Amino acid sequence: MKSNETKKTLSKTEYKEALSQGVYQVCFEKKDGSFRVMTCTLVPELIPKTLKECADDLMMKPKRKENDTVLAVYDLEKSCWRSFRIDFVATFNKIK
């Protein structure tokens, strides 16, 4: 069952605002139909700045066109960037 069939989906802006202020547990349906639970954030102080990111900042690479249906977040358990489709979110709960 798609998450948008069970509850109102937040907008991408609403997810970004919430994630920039805390840590959330997100459960979402993956493309293969399975579900994944992820602990993630967009709080800058919780995201390590790697050497690659520093180099990219210095080179000022042009940004890719932003996808309105996918949100990139920092996965605190895997210590890397992951993304999910906002219309496939089943649950979105604040942890801290």
> Residues 17-76: pLDDT tens digits?
999 999 999 999 999 999 999 999 999 999 887 755 655 555 566 667 778 899 999 999
The yes-or-no verdict on residue 89 having pLDDT over 70 is yes
Note the pLDDT of residue 63.
Answer: 67
Host H or E run for residue 81: strand 80-85
The pTM of this model reads: 0.78
Q: 44: domain range?
A: 3-94
Note the pLDDT of residue 96.
Answer: 82
Residue length, the chain?
96
As for how many domains the chain has, the answer is 1
Q: What is the DSSP string of 45-77?
A: GGS---HHHHHHHHHTPPPPPPPTTEEEEEETT
Q: What angle do CA 72, 61, 18 make, to 5 degrees?
A: 25
